[in-house]
Amino acid sequence: YLIATGGHPCVEVEDGCTLSNVTFTGFQEWVGGSHGFYWSDTTTTGVSESLTLEGVRWEQGTDATAYLVYIKHNLALQGLVVRDCYGGLDRNGFYLRRVDTATFANVQYTGHGLALDVDATVRRLSLQNCFWQATSTAKMVGQRTIFAVPLNPNTGALPPTAYYDEATDGDRQL
């Protein structure tokens, strides 16, 4: 168990840190606090790579406006994998900025808030066999759909399996 106290996240990466091949794996409960994983980077001068969150269950969050995963990188995070994870009843889902090649596999977002918030700085976003709660929403600014299966009945704003990429001039933006 990772238990956050007060308004702190369960895991917080300090501003200015560069991550390389960091993995959280196994059966994990991330309990309480504001965000589950929080990384707001404004100062790094290098690219981070290969962050994996696997087997995490987020619960009992203390801030409905916080996110399960909040990543806002200064330059770029190359390679984010979120696999076999569950949560969201008590907060928003995933907030990504400046992430290249993000993969969500077997993720269950059970909340009623913003399931996924990405902008044009996110490139190559893959959803594989995911569940998004029926009343959840998504904010996909500057993204274009490359491939998407139909929405499942009674599911949220995103299809269970899809591939998105940044929109370029002349592309239809969502």
For position 12, what pLDDT does the model report?
A: 97
For 116-162, what is each residue's pLDDT tens digit? Answer: 999 999 999 999 999 999 889 999 999 999 999 887 776 788 999 99
Distance CA 158, CA 100 (A): 19
What would the pLDDT profile of 97-117 be if each residue is shown by its tens digit?
A: 999 999 999 999 999 999 999
Query: What is the pLDDT, as a whole number, of residue 169?
Result: 55
Q: Give the integer Cα–Cα distance in Å for 91 and 69.
A: 10
Look at the chain and count its residues: 174
What integer pLDDT is reported at residue 151 of this predicted model?
Answer: 76
State how far the Cα of 162 lies from the Cα of 113, in Å rounded to an integer.
20
CA distance 125 to 123: 6
What is the C-alpha to C-alpha distance for residues 143 and 65, in angstroms, rounded to an integer? 23
Taking the C-alpha atoms of residue 123 and residue 120, their distance in angstroms, rounded to an integer, is 7
pTM of the model: 0.93
pLDDT tens column, 18-55: 999 999 999 999 999 999 999 999 999 999 999 999 99
Q: How far apart are the first and last CA of the chain?
A: 38
Give the tokens for residue 36.
């589950």
Using pLDDT thresholds of 50, 70 and 90, give the confidence band for residue 3. very high
Amino acid at 45: T
Tell me the pLDDT tens digit for each residue of 49-76: 999 999 999 999 999 999 999 999 999 9
